[in-house]
Amino acid sequence: MSRFLYVQLIWREDLVYRALDQWTREIPVTASRGRIFDRNGELLAGNESAYTVYARANAVKDPEYSARVLSSLTGLGYDGIYQKLTDRSRSEITVVKQAEKSFVRSIEGANLPGVYYARDNKRIYPYGSLAGQVIGFTSEGKSGTTGVELFYNSFLKGEDGEILYDTDLVGVELEGASAAYLPATDGLDVTLTLDYRIQAIAEEAMGRVLETSSAKAAQAVVIDPGDFSVLAMVNLPCFDLNDPPRDDLSALNALSRNRLVSDIYEPGSTFKIITAAADLEEYLRGNPAALPPDHIFPSSRTRSVDGTTIKCWSDHKNGKHANQTLAEALNNSCNPCFVDLALSLGTETFYSYLGAFRFGRATGVDFSGESIGMLLPEATVRDCDLARIGFGQTIAVSPLQLACAAASAVNGGYYYTPHLLKSISADDGYVLQRTEKTLIGRTIGEEASAMLAGMLEGVVRDGSGKHAYIEGYRVGGKTGTAQKYENGQIAQGKYVSSFVGFFPADKPRYLALVIVDEPQGSYYGSTVAAPCAKEIFEGIIDVMNIAPSGG
């Protein structure tokens, strides 16, 4: 009785499944993978019909003939196909994947018992390489492998169905047998915050500088400072998503990596935005350690800290940027002035701002593999370390971290969660999930932010960022030129040129961070990266039809 109860109750479900598997054969019904759109409804990833051809050795009546036909149609070797068609140890084999409709029609006309096909889907990317590292691609099994395809795979993948046929013991379909149809559930559509027009503009600008400067790589990220939605992400070089280099895993991994999120670098002078923001906020709060905006920095080209000498990039000849205010120090990108600011604020205060701007931790972007950067533990920081952090050395950040921090510094001091997802919806338009802007915290107050934005507008109008100036539009920004390190040593002749810019300066709607890795010849951010940002902004002005606002 115990055994009877066990078989009837406990073991029942498994036995029913085994029996069903013995007297039926299944033809899979592939679910359509959800589509990916940009914020305007432009298709970035979709599907087209394809077919997978299967064979059951037990049901193949003439393996020689079938192997010859399949070999001639597929171009595959006769011997290999014949071996599969006669291998009765396996109930089913896959002959070919992603077959065209014409191929299936040829099989139908050849009358090959035991050979059948099922409808499949082929993933297509209408814009090829556009936003390649962001969108990502799928495996041959239609599962997300990288990018958004991977991060939102659970929504995109859907659930396959099947058609069940009654068969005899060896798997041959019974004459007059009925079929049971279990429908597939298609995947959900994902709409991104990306704007394909801005993405194309940014890719064109970065592709041009990559070629003209013979750089190792070029990157750009464009975000909306109002909610930190990502409008464009460019990583060059890239590849065609329709034809990823699957045979070269090393190249595939390198090219498909979204370095804006996953990699880190020493930001250099673009980081001075953060140091200036911290000082202005502390000054407005009445902290006597903060240096006021009209403070006159000593004209000396050097500062000595803990026995190390820190120099300005300029030689200060002919009185160049001697006796300068904070606004002028930003214009001239004078390192010693920002050494003074960091040391004046002190480690505890300065680190509280680094934490508020989320350096050393994740931004929370909806993308896999985000780096948290590298920030020295506060307890181990010496004065010489603090001094260098003040002008963007001895700290490493991801490009997205820096872009978000800069956006918060100029948007009134609001730090939101950066995001790529706009919504997830069904084919009938039902919206399952929508991303709302999420405030993480405040970094500085609105008054300090407005003061800083005005100073950075001066950098573009009068200072090192003048190559990003656009007549009639209020553009702010900061240049950066950082040396690269290899094996703990400065790599001679290798630099990272960068520029972070935004407009309109009084109420930012667009912020772009441009990075050019190892440009040859001229390597300053002012001459290499700033013009790229200008080109991106001019493209946005054109497609968005933004009227001049003065400046």
Beta carbons of 341 and 272 less than 8 angstroms apart: no
- Tokens matching residue 286: 């009445």
Beta carbons of 24 and 167 less than 8 angstroms apart: yes
What is the layout of strands, in order, in the sheet containing 217-224? 229-236, 217-224, 510-517, 489-503, 476-486
The b/e string for 494-506 (b: 16+ C-beta within 10 A; e otherwise) is bbbbbbbbbbbbe
- Tokens matching residue 227: 């909610």
- Tokens matching residue 537: 């902004």
The b/e string for 153-191 (b: 16+ C-beta within 10 A; e otherwise) is bebbbbeebbbbbebeeebbbeeeeeeeeeebebbbbbb
By DSSP bridging, strand 179-182 and strand 414-416 are unpaired
Phi and psi torsions of 203, nearest 5°? -65, -40
Nearest to 535, CA basis, from 222, 224, 271, 228: 222
Determine the Cα–Cα distance for residues 106 and 111; give it in Å rounded to an integer. Answer: 9
| Distance from the Cα of residue 470 to its chain's centroid | 28
In a 13 Å sphere around the CA of 38, the CA atoms on its Cβ side amount to 21
Rg (CA), the chain: 30
Single-letter amino acid code for the residue at 410:
V
Determine the Cα–Cα distance for residues 505 and 410; give it in Å rounded to an integer. Answer: 8
Nearest to 37, CA basis, from 371, 491, 429, 502: 429
Longest dimension (CA), the chain: 105
Beta strands in 382-528, from DSSP E residues, in sequence order: 414-416, 421-425, 431-434, 439-442, 476-486, 489-503, 510-517
The b/e string for 530-545 (b: 16+ C-beta within 10 A; e otherwise) is bbbbbbbbebbbeeee
**Residues with a known catalytic role:** 269
Can you give the length of the chain in residues? 551
